Homo-oligomer: A and B are copies of this chain.
């Protein structure tokens, strides 16, 4: 039977440090009904936070409505009062993980170049911290937090002197660069953990892939450095002035 409503349930699964629920800051609307108790009552915030936890722990296939409900100490169907369906959970989890907490004082005084690099590295780091977000991001619609990042990026470029007519290309070039770099990175993490494939394709690239081998393409693990170099190059091209 599935009667598991005994008292020992429904405690917080783990005290692991973990990013707070999607809306920690003083944002417009929020539930002032409930105290911040993470205990009994189901709430969108709790559902999303737990979904992220589950995704972090077990990957994209590990998120199951039943498993999620279980972790929350509720019945499966209770989730459906708060959420449309499983895709809704994916969308919410994805966007929550992409929220941008800007650095304390990023005002106009700073060098815009520093600012942009910081934004993009933060974004990339966020995705790498939750690798499941990458495929999700490429198969689901853009949420508000992602759009906010785009907006901020555009604003900064604009402030840096990029003309309106060039803004489009500038934003997308940077955006695409970050997405691409992150995908590449997670791809290779995957490849590394998949020894069979690595053996088969990466271990002896000299025979079929001499250039790849010569450039040490698959073995260079200075991802951050490479990321920065390409980014600098791009920025130089986009806003040559100053």
A residues lining the B interface (CB < 8 Å): 1-2, 4, 6, 14, 60, 134-144, 147-148, 150-151, 154-155, 158, 164, 167-169, 171-173, 175-181, 183-184, 186-187, 190-191, 194, 196-198, 200-201, 205, 208-212, 214-217, 220, 226, 229-230, 233-234, 236-238
**Contact residues in B for A168 (Cβ distance below 8 Å):** 215-217, 220, 226
Nearest Cβ on chain B to A170's Cβ, whole angstroms: 8
Query: Main SS of the interface on chain A?
Result: helix
Which of A1, A179, A234 has the most chain B CB atoms closer than 10 A to its own CB? A179
In the complex where A135-B138, A147-B209 touch, is A2 in contact with B226 (Cβ < 8 A)? no
In the complex where A141-B187, A147-B205, A237-B234 touch, is A176 in contact with B180 (Cβ < 8 A)? yes
Q: When the two chains form their complex, are residues B180 and A150 in contact, meaning their CB atoms are under 8 A apart?
A: no
| Bound Cα distance from A148 to B151, whole angstroms | 37
Q: When the two chains form their complex, are residues B167 and A215 in contact, meaning their CB atoms are under 8 A apart?
A: yes
The answer, among B169, B191, B216, for a CB contact under 8 Å with A226, is B169
Q: From A231, which residue of chain B is reached at the shortest CB distance?
A: B173
**Contact residues in B for A181 (Cβ distance below 8 Å):** 172, 176, 180
- Top 6 nearest A-B pairs by Cβ distance? A176-B180, A180-B180, A154-B211, A167-B215, A179-B180, A135-B139
Nearest Cβ on chain B to A85's Cβ, whole angstroms: 12
Q: When the two chains form their complex, are residues B158 and A211 in contact, meaning their CB atoms are under 8 A apart?
A: yes
| Bound Cα distance from A238 to B230, whole angstroms | 9
Q: When the two chains form their complex, are residues A151 and B210 in contact, meaning their CB atoms are under 8 A apart?
A: yes
Nearest Cβ on chain B to A197's Cβ, whole angstroms: 5
**Contact residues in B for A167 (Cβ distance below 8 Å):** 211, 214-215, 217
| Bound Cα distance from A208 to B171, whole angstroms | 17
Q: When the two chains form their complex, are residues B151 and A183 in contact, meaning their CB atoms are under 8 A apart?
A: no
Q: From A134, which residue of chain B is reached at the shortest CB distance?
A: B138
Nearest Cβ on chain B to A77's Cβ, whole angstroms: 22
In the complex where A172-B184, A184-B179, A212-B154 touch, is A1 in contact with B226 (Cβ < 8 A)? no
Give 20 CB contacts A-B under 8 Å: A1-B196, A1-B197, A2-B197, A140-B190, A141-B187, A141-B194, A141-B197, A150-B217, A154-B211, A168-B215, A168-B220, A169-B229, A171-B215, A172-B230, A176-B177, A176-B184, A177-B177, A233-B234, A233-B238, A234-B237
